[in-house]
Amino acid sequence: MKLWRCAALAMLFCSFVVRVGAGEVNVAVAANFAAPMQKIAQAFAQDTGHTAVLALGSTGKLYAQIKHGAPFHLLLAADTETPAKLVAEGSGLTGSAFTYATGRLALWSQQTGVVDDQGRVLQGPLSQQPHIKLALADPRLAPYGAAALQTLTQLGVWSRWQSHVVQGENIAQTYQFVATENAALGFVAWSQVWVDGRVSQGSAWRVPQHLHEPLRQDALLLTKGKDQAAALALMAYLKGERAKAIMRAHGYEV
């Protein structure tokens, strides 16, 4: 009986220590990384006791919020330039940035058979479809939107499609335009349509990487997080195998 009580007290003490030591980290997350980051946050809480509070948006909008004093401890950007800029401006810690994932761009339609596996739909005649819409994220704010514009330019079809474009503020809104069929097709993150080893619905083309700048995505410890235990723990956790497995499952290269 005494042994049982000692064991119970030890378990209670350990649980108390975990709760007392647990912290909360505010994370600014590029919209393309929403789905894997939500799963990573759950795993992070299970493994460490810390809580990650996520704020989603385009990298450009998140940058503006950070510069206006938003209480973020970490930034998970969709590019490498924004974290570097924040470090140069004194809003991020020198030497803390690292590439946590490399994303892929996809051309996607909610309808099956619309997008072929070579993206030839972009070369088709538009005169027969004068009202067709092509969605892409704002290239000024979203790296995936910039990659989409680069792809159209490299393929030599930007001038043909320019008047048919509808812009989303970020890649999440762009996905919604296509999902609700307000746009017949659009450039989204591959991770948004690749689920359990297949395209979850509709039809998609994974854009070859040579058609746009690499979508390397950097994590940065912001100055507000430099002494925050949960922020430091999450930076380390993103480099671990459990987080990497989640990223790979969502179509990211790590």
What's the pLDDT tens digit per position in 74-119? 999 999 999 999 999 999 999 999 999 999 999 999 999 999 989 9
Q: Tens digits of per-residue pLDDT, 47-66? A: 999 999 999 999 999 999 99
Kindly write down the DSSP assignment for every residue of 129-153, as one continuous string.
-TT--EEEE-TTT-HHHHHHHHHHH
User: What is the β-pairing status of strands 198-199 and 194-195?
Assistant: antiparallel
Superfamily designation of domain 23-102+214-249: Periplasmic binding protein-like II (3.40.190.10)
Size (the chain), residues: 254
First to last CA, the chain: 51
| For range 162-168, the mean pLDDT | 95
5 pLDDT band, cuts 50/70/90, is very low
Q: Tens digits of per-residue pLDDT, 185-222? A: 999 999 999 887 888 899 999 999 999 999 999 999 99
The phi and psi torsions of 135 (rounded to 5 degrees) equal -95, 140
Residue 244: CB atoms within 10 A of its CB come to: 16
Higher-confidence residue of 19 and 229: namely 229
| 158: its two tokens | 């930007």
Q: pLDDT over 70 for what percent of the chain? A: 91
Residues of the chain with CATH 3.40.190.10: 23-102+214-249, 104-211
Contact 183, 177 (CB under 8 A): yes
Q: Is the pLDDT of residue 122 over 80?
A: yes
- In single-letter form, the type of residue at position 247 comes to M
Give the pLDDT confidence score for residue 86 in this predicted structure. Answer: 98
129 pLDDT band, cuts 50/70/90, is confident
Residue 237: CB atoms within 10 A of its CB come to: 19
CATH no., domain 104-211: 3.40.190.10
**Residue 87 DSSP SS3:** helix
Q: Is the pLDDT of residue 233 over 90?
A: yes
What are the Cα distances from residue 125, in Å, to 122, 132, 157, 187? 9, 11, 11, 19
